[in-house]
Amino acid sequence: MLYALSPVQIIEVKNLFKKFGSFTANDDLTFDVKQGEIFGFLGANGAGKTTAIKILCGLSKPTSGEVKVAGFDVYTQTENIKKNIGYMSQKFSLYEDLTVTENIRFYAGIYGISRKEIKERTNILVEKLHLESVKDTLIKSLPLGWKQKLAFSVAIFHEPKIVFLDEPTSGVDPITRRQFWEMIYEAANNDMTVFVTTHYLDEAEYCNRVSIMVDGRIDALDSPKNLKEKYNAENMNEVFLKLARK
Amino acid sequence: MKRFVGFIKKEFYHILRDYRSLLILIGMPVVQILIFGFAISNDIKDAKIAILDNSKDEITQKLTQKILSSGYFILEKNISGTGDIENSFKQGKVKQVIIFENDFGKKLKKEGRASVQIISDASDPNTANILVNYTNAIISSFQMEMMKSQVIPFQIIPEVKLFYNPEMKSVFMFIPGTITLLLMLVSAMMTSISIAREKELGTMEVLLVSPLKPIQIIAGKVVPYILLSFINAVTILLLGYFVFNMPFNGSLTLLLSECLLFLIVALSLGIFISTFANNQLTAMIASMLGLMLPTILLSGFIFPIENMPGWLQVICNITPAKWFLIIIKSIMLKGIGLKYIIKENLVLIGMIMFFIAMSVKKFKVRLE
């Protein structure tokens, strides 16, 4: 997997601490993410991934440290951050009792895209996803894989600089997962930065770089290839186990 | 603003497509007001009684006649011995037994006093109480009639006038009560459920990450329910007016504004509930237990607050429904203006501010 590191740092985190009382959820995180990169954010449950993502999305303030997302400061410029990011969680977050086009229209609408543009681009999107026959069908009657693709397309409909994917492939079959990663690559090729958390360690191999969190700290951060070499492992699963057992 | 309109449109899709809930929302007030109005009534008619007349003279005959012609009682049977009294109750038909003592008429004429015993089935205490009062009233009026033929040195005749509800119709109590209950339920329960649903489905996260401000999200969730609840309030008022002849003595504008104020109290409560309820079930149970029961039991809707022990009266004071019930009854029945219900209004406004402040605080804590 070849890619040239872009010089532009789209996410910059320096000495980020987040404490809840005496519990430290994020313990001195320092990392950066480059524009157009697929950045894997790995860690066991409770390692502090969700807390970090919330801070990066402007939903939560750090206890201390410097955090810049898309060039904006998370302490003071969350409004600007929100305009420049997309977000998709494992729940897919589509409204079950709304149709495909209504969901697109709603989410595009809250990002302030004009009605005319929404209409044009909805048609293109529906065609691209092969959803023409179900565009006026309620989401609840669609298969999981379709929902997932639609949810991703909706999350990047407003063309954000960064898209955060929080375990986007949970509970989806391997073929659909594969197709989903093709969509992620396409977005990254269009210079969108993809920040993804996952449970599936084979998916970590698809990322340009991977960080592994253990107990609130980042224990490793490199390309999958370098990590495997460094930890003398066959695959990312072994790397992960070696780190977790340390 | 355009974003906000889109949000409300989406909210209406939710409401209109969930046609079962919609049916309940629109149908509930109608059904409830009809049930309260027609079926539940404190006015008792045609209660079955038994009479044990040990005297069987002219006076007991007259008194029996008077009791039976009042319209409140129907003679189920005459019984002949004390042994039958309990049996009559046990059969379940008879609600009250009236027993005249031996030589009732004679004693009354000779000694100036005779006794009649009233035995009531108090397994239903309210009914028993009311029937005893009815019987007492009939007996004293019978006494007055008898005294007319005699010259007595002085006499006090109380003249009773019942203001605002001269016929003491209980439906006049139930209509304000039902409006209160429904505004509370629809507004608070439905908003808390609909906000909790967004959390459960994970759409709330996406909304929070979007450029929409939290206040826009909350307002967007609340506005459709303000509209629905308002329609409900108007429906109940119309039903009360046309079906039950409920009087409207006060200003309609004031009445509707007060409804709106109470709606906002209920909505702020709903928002507060949704700050700790993470799924629809929790929201529903919290609203049911936390709102419905106090609104029915502690607002003075069914049970008079004056008769409650002191500590319970304090709890009644923090029940928003209590204050709204005072307001709405005052306006509808007494026809009074705003200046007489300023205190109640201030209490409600205070409650709104409290719940909003608490919600904002909880919301901030959650984000940090």
Chain A residue numbers touching B201 (CB-CB < 8 A): 91, 93, 95-96
The separation between CA A109 and the C-alpha centre of its own chain, rounded to angstroms, equals 21
Please check whether residue A229 lies inside any domain of the structure: yes
Report the residue from B9, B17, B203 with minimal CB separation from A93. B203
Q: Whose CA is closest to B207, among A107, A173, A69?
A: A107
Q: Is B16 on the interface with A (CB under 8 A)?
A: no
Which CATH number fits the domain that encloses residue A238?
3.40.50.300
Q: List CB contacts (< 8 A) between B9 and chain A.
A: 106
Q: Would residue A1 count as lying in a domain? A: no
Helix axes A144-155, A174-189, angle to 10 degrees: 20
Contact in structure between A99 and A135 (CB atoms under 8 Å): yes
Instruction: Test B203 with A83 for CB contact under 8 angstroms.
Output: no
Which position has the higher pLDDT, B195 or B170? Answer: B195
Around B215, how many Cα atoms within 13 Å sit in the side-chain half-sphere?
4
- Contact between chains at A97 and B14 (C-beta distance less than 8 A): yes
Identify which of B13, B14, B209 has the shortest CB distance to residue A87. Answer: B209
pLDDT at residue A1 in the model: 46
| CB-CB contact of B16 with B231 (8 Å) | no
Q: Is residue A4 part of a domain?
A: no
| pLDDT the model gives residue B88 | 84
Say what the pLDDT of residue A6 is: 60
- Which pLDDT score, from 0 to 100, does residue B43 have? 65
Q: Quick one: pLDDT at residue B90?
A: 84
Residues on chain B touching A60 (C-beta within 8 angstroms):
367-368
Report the gap between the CA of A240 and the closest CA in chain B (Å): 28
Q: Closest CB to B3: pick one of A61, A110, A138.
A: A110
Establish if A15 belongs to a structural domain.
yes
**Given this model, what pLDDT does residue B325 score?**
92
Nearest-CA distance from A201 to chain B in Å? Answer: 24
Q: What is the pLDDT of residue B42?
A: 60
Query: What are the pLDDT digits (tens) for B298-324?
Result: 888 888 888 888 899 998 999 999 999
Examine residue A3 and state whether it is found in any structural domain, yes or no. no
pLDDT at A217 over 50: yes
| Segments forming the whole domain that contains residue A213 | 9-245
User: What number is the average pLDDT over the span A24-36?
Assistant: 92
Q: Which CATH superfamily is domain B47-148 in?
A: abc type-2 transporter like domain (3.40.1710.10)
When mean pLDDT is compared over A156-160, B68-72, B143-147, the highest value belongs to A156-160
The predicted model gives A83-93 an average pLDDT of 89
CB contacts under 8 A, B 184-203 vs A, are: 201-203
Cα torsion B313, B318, B324, B330 to 10°: value is 40
A199 occurs within a structural domain? yes
Q: By three-state DSSP, how is residue A150 classified?
A: helix
Q: How many CB pairs under 8 A join A and B?
A: 74
Q: Taking CB atoms and an 8 Å cutoff, what residues of chain A touch B206? A: 87-89, 93, 107, 155
Mutual angle of helices B19-34 and B214-242, in 10-degree steps? 40
Q: What is the 3-state secondary structure (H, E, C) of chain B?
A: CHHHHHHHHHHHHHHHHCHHHHHHHHHHHHHHHHHHHHHCCCCCCCEEEEEEECCCCHHHHHHHHHHHCCCCEEEEEEECCCHHHHHHHHCCCCCEEEEECCCHHHHHHHHCCCCEEEEECCCCHHHHHHHHHHHHHHHHHHHHHHHHCCCCCCCCCCCCCCCCCCCCCCHHHHHHHHHHHHHHHHHHHHHHHHHHHHHHHCHHHHHHHCCCCHHHHHHHHHHHHHHHHHHHHHHHHHHHHHCCCCCCCCCHHHHHHHHHHHHHHHHHHHHHHHHHCCCHHHHHHHHHHHHHHHHHHCCCCCCCHHHCCHHHHHHHHCCHHHHHHHHHHHHHHHCCCHHHCHHHHHHHHHHHHHHHHHHHHHHHHHHC
Name the helix (H) or strand (E) containing A147.
helix A144-155
Q: Which residues of A touch B (CB under 8 A)?
A: 57-61, 79, 82-83, 85, 87-98, 102, 105-107, 109-112, 138, 155, 164
Domains in chain A, number: 1
Mean pLDDT confidence for B61-88 = 87
Residue B40 confidence (pLDDT) = 63
Percent of chain A that is helix, strand, coil (3-state, to 5): 40, 25, 35
Could you report the per-residue pLDDT of B16-26, keeping only the tens digit for each?
Answer: 998 888 888 88
Sorted by sequence, the CB contacts under 8 Å of residue B250 that are 6+ apart come out as B330, B331, B332, B334, B335, B336, B337
* Of A132-141, A189-198, A228-237, B81-90, the least confident: B81-90
In contact, A10 and A57? CB cutoff 8 Å? no
Q: Is the dihedral of CA B181, B186, B191, B192 positive or negative?
A: positive
Confidence of residue A3 (pLDDT cuts 50, 70, 90): low
Q: Is the pLDDT of residue B208 over 60?
A: yes
The reply to whether B367 touches chain A by the CB within 8 Å rule is yes
- Is residue A83 one of the residues assigned to a domain? yes
Helix/strand/coil for A21: coil
Query: Hey, where are the domains in chain B?
Result: 2-40+173-367, 47-148
- Residue-level pLDDT at A46: 80
